[in-house]
Amino acid sequence: MKLKLKLPNPGLDDRIPSHGDLERMEKDEAGDRPQWDNKAQYLLTCVGFCVGLGNVWRFPYLCQSHGGGAFMIPFLILLVLEGIPLLHLEFAIGQRLRKGSVGVWRSINPYLAGVGIASMLVSFLVGVYYNTIMAWIMWYLFNSFQDPLPWSQCPLNANRTGYVEECARSTTVDYFWYRETLNTSTAIDESGGLQWWMVLSLIAAWTVLYVCCIRGIETTGKAVYITSTLPYLVLTIFLVRGLTLKGSTEGIKYLFTPDVDELMNPSTWLDAGAQVFYSFSLAFGGLISFSSYNSVHNNCEQDAVLISIINGCTSVYSATVIYSIIGFRATQKYDECFGDNILKLMNAFNYPENNITQSNYNEILTHLNNTSPDVIQGLSLQICDMQTFLSQGVEGTGLAFIVFTEAIIEMPISPLWAVLFFIMLFCLGLSTMFGSIEGVIAPLLDLKLLPRSWPKEVISGLTCFASLALGLIFALRSGNYWLALFDNFAGSIPLLVIGFFEMISVVYIYGMDRFNKDLEFMIGHKPNIFWQATWRVISPLIMIFILIFYFVTQVTKELTYLVWDQEAESFPTLAERYYPQWVYVMIFILAGVPSLAIPVFALYKLIQRKCCKKDYDDSTVDTISAKIQMSDKMKL
Amino acid sequence: MLGRIVFFLCLPSVLAAQLCKPNAAEGFKVRLSIKTALGDKAYEWNRNQRFLFQAAIAFAMSHHLELEFNVSNILVCDETPRVSFWFVVTSPGDPSRLVGKESVELAVRESRSRINNILLLNDATLEFVGVLPTLTAPVKPATPSWLIVFGVVIGMVGAGIVFLLVSTVVQKKRKKNEVAEEEDDDEEAQMKRTAGNEGIYNTSFSEYDRNTQM
């Protein structure tokens, strides 16, 4: 029994090109719509967009904290039931309607243009803060061309008697990150001033992005040959290097040791679903745009499955690499901790060297504790626990800029590994930014907000400049806290909302029957029962679940953030603070405005229709025949 | 007579024993971690190595105070299997008087790297308890290296942008000229046709046969 639910949608045929039109457009030159040079460019661009920093620094952490190898089960299940169908949907609808996100949703129904506008806003906001992370990566990259690396040493204090207090109490990598890179303040309302070195790094990041995006996919299509393939090469190099280091297998074991009990925990499934969704860069509008440059009969089904598999495998592969290095670092710290304790014992009791080793440490300690407990007390020996070291700060910027950099300074030829690592992160982030920029520019062109005569270079330049201007907020001393705010709110709930509306629009407003026929026309066969079931029922349900759970957890939990505060008791661990009241306004702007763009725009369109009663409908202006350009030859 | 000779012979060592003792006011505790520093190439701590240590300290004192110190002025005592011991420095003029702690500390700090090298150790493995290691500030070049790399990157990117923009402008100009030429060609052809006999004769319809073939 087929689900015959379909909302009325008059005038749809006038707004979209028919199959005949598509065939004709295929045969003639595409006109002013850009095209991919070859299939490889398209695939590399999509892979680059999907595979990003999240694969390197979010997935490994989730894997390890939600039961290691057991996390693969919810991840794979949700990949298949949520990721692949949504991906296929975006590819197919872009390829069929041959427009950017705003154009696609407006073609389906003029009231739905808000979905495209929401995508554009989210792409813009995410692009602004994501490129700031790129600026940080570039700053570290610039600083990697020296030996010894600047984050391996503490600077001396004023009278050269010791190290700077902040550095001595924490670690060199912490100091370099929080003080010399961010120069962070102690609260989000203490904005400090603009840090000139950060502004320079931001300028560098945006100009590199501009030069790659200057002519749209014409230039990005060339850039992705490098930015999408280099990370894999570097990951392999790091894997080989990591496996030869002491303790790497500890890390890998820690990562993949399954804890099946975690599967009972609903937050595991929630995190897996969210990770699949964000990892695929869905709802940004970039994937729809990229697919619209394809030829009509491109096999988007195959592409969706292929890219999903590549994305999943990359996540697992990079998790292995990251954790082999983390295992090495943890072993180093463990040995160091032990070494410290042994040295203290040796010095206090005058044991000859190498008498106390890690193996007989415990028995000697108990013996000494019995004979002279007060001396032992005075020594303040630390407890060395491998598990603690393995679970330290291993996600997000903490992983890249603190934990991994610390591991790198222990490796021989550190500058080489630092350069390789940051180039890899840079390429991963840059290829994701291509999709983000595309998700902003294509709707701008569709909405006709800018004059047609302006060349593409100017439009991309303006976008980059506007984003740079807004991004200066992250170059303040409190920039890191702003970024965490953006990351938590601009890039989470709005995307889920948009993704959900995308599914509903295509399945129930565009019509599943029509969509099936389109796919049959494009790829030659009707999508099978798997696609039908997931598109109609399973994926929307999963999206709704994730959205509701996410919303509930965000709303119920207290809004706190972590600060680097020397005066705090927990220093050098980050201290928790409450957000000031005005942050709620910011959160509303970041999360609410894109999400509300959908109903607000629909309302606006409704009011426009009702009050400005004109003779012609908007839809007639959007017909294909109105767009056919008279070629020059016919003028004579 | 014999008794007095024995007394005077034993006096220095007795005096030495009294001058050098653990927690002596003018003494320093030293800890060596030879195996940590040298691994397989570690040397055995014996009388000769101790002699070398005393010679090194004597050198440091001579160098700092510009007096002539001898190995016998450096008294070592309370050796442990850890390889740690105490030492005191006696004045060259009067062996029963100790040199002040501050002078010894300054002398050691001044020649620290030299002493380390003599014993093939470093600041961490040759520890003078209470003497802070002299910290070398990290070398800071005139322009930070990151600015240089930044400059290179910005230069390349800027060149790329300029190149791409210029090539776009050049392409557009070329297209405009081509289109203009095409238009000119069309116009010219038209004009030639209408200009009469001097025009290019279009031979496609010129079968000079008045009657059409059936």
pLDDT digits (tens, 9 = 90+) for A412-449: 999 999 999 999 999 999 999 999 999 999 999 888 88
- Could you give the CA distance from residue A267 to residue A394 in angstroms, rounded to a whole number? 19
Task: Say if residue B213's pLDDT is above 60.
Answer: no
> Would you call A280 an interface residue with chain B, using a CB distance cutoff of 8 Å?
no
* Domain range annotation of chain B: 15-128, 145-213
Counting one residue from chain A and one from chain B, the pairs whose CB atoms sit within 8 A come to 83
Give me the pLDDT at residue A619, please.
47
> Would you call A415 an interface residue with chain B, using a CB distance cutoff of 8 Å?
no
Interface touch A214/B164, C-beta < 8 Å: yes
- Could you give the CA distance from residue B213 to residue A57 in angstroms, rounded to a whole number? 84
Interface touch A204/B161, C-beta < 8 Å: no
| 3-state SS, residue A186 | coil
- Could you give the CA distance from residue B184 to residue B187 in angstroms, rounded to a whole number? 5
Give me the pLDDT at residue A228, please.
93
Task: Say if residue A635's pLDDT is above 60.
Answer: no
| 3-state SS, residue B75 | strand
The per-residue pLDDT for range B115-137, each reduced to its tens digit, is 888 888 888 888 888 877 766 66
- Alpha-carbon gap: A352 to the closest alpha carbon of chain B (Å): 4
Q: CB burial class (10 A; 0-12, 13-18, 19+) of residue B65?
A: middle
Task: Tell me the residue type at A135.
Answer: A
Find the mean pLDDT for residues B167-183: 86
Give me the pLDDT at residue A517, please.
92
- Could you give the CA distance from residue A549 to residue A273 in angstroms, rounded to a whole number? 11
The interface residues of chain A toward chain B in range 162-191, judged by CB-CB distance below 8 A, are 162-163
What are B32's strand-pairing partners? B126
* ipTM for the whole complex: 0.82
Total residue length of chain A:
636
CB neighbour list of residue A516: distance below 8 Å, 6 or more residues apart: A526, A527, A532
- Could you give the CA distance from residue A534 to residue A95 in angstroms, rounded to a whole number? 20
Interface touch A160/B137, C-beta < 8 Å: yes
Kindly report the average pLDDT of chain A as a whole number.
87
Interface touch B150/A163, C-beta < 8 Å: no
b/e A414-434 (16+ beta carbons within 10 angstroms → b):
bbebbbbbbbbbbbbbbbbbb
| 3-state SS, residue B119 | coil
What are B90's strand-pairing partners? B98
**Range list of β-strands (E), B1-150:** 28-32, 74-80, 84-89, 126-128
Task: Tell me the residue type at B159.
Answer: A
The per-residue pLDDT for range B99-120, each reduced to its tens digit, is 888 888 888 888 888 888 888 8
- Alpha-carbon gap: A206 to the closest alpha carbon of chain B (Å): 10
Q: Are A451 and A90 in contact (CB under 8 A)?
A: no
Candidates A138, A160, A351; nearest CB to B135:
A160
- Could you give the CA distance from residue A421 to residue B201 in angstroms, rounded to a whole number? 71
Nearest Cα neighbor of A135 from A203, A85, A79 is: A203
Q: Compare all CA atoms of chain B with the CA of A419 and give the residue at the minimum distance.
A: B149
Phi and psi dihedrals of B29, rounded to 5?
-90, 135
Find the mean pLDDT for residues A41-47: 93
Candidates A142, A343, A636; nearest CB to B150:
A142
Give me the pLDDT at residue B203, please.
63
Give me the pLDDT at residue B205, please.
64
Alpha helices in A265-299 (DSSP H): 266-279, 286-292
Give me the pLDDT at residue A428, please.
95
Helix axes A414-447, A196-213, angle to 10 degrees: 60
Give the gyration radius of chain B's Cα atoms: 47
Give me the pLDDT at residue A443, please.
92
> Would you call B125 an interface residue with chain A, using a CB distance cutoff of 8 Å?
no
- Alpha-carbon gap: A353 to the closest alpha carbon of chain B (Å): 6
User: Position of tokens 């030639």?
Assistant: B192
DSSP A395-448: SHHHIIIIIHHHHHHHSSSHHHHHHHHHHHHHHHHHHHHHHHHHHHHHHHHHHT
Percent of chain B with pLDDT over 90: 12
- Alpha-carbon gap: A170 to the closest alpha carbon of chain B (Å): 19
Task: Say if residue B212's pLDDT is above 60.
Answer: no
The per-residue pLDDT for range A134-188, each reduced to its tens digit, is 999 999 999 999 888 999 988 887 777 778 888 888 889 999 999 999 999 988 8
The number of CA neighbours under 13 Å toward the Cβ of A525 is 6
DSSP A303-315: HHHHHHHHHHHHH
Q: Are A84 and A261 in contact (CB under 8 A)?
A: no
The per-residue pLDDT for range B19-63, each reduced to its tens digit, is 777 777 888 888 888 888 888 888 888 889 889 989 998 998 898
Give me the pLDDT at residue A30, please.
58
For B191, other C-beta atoms within 10 Å of its C-beta total: 10
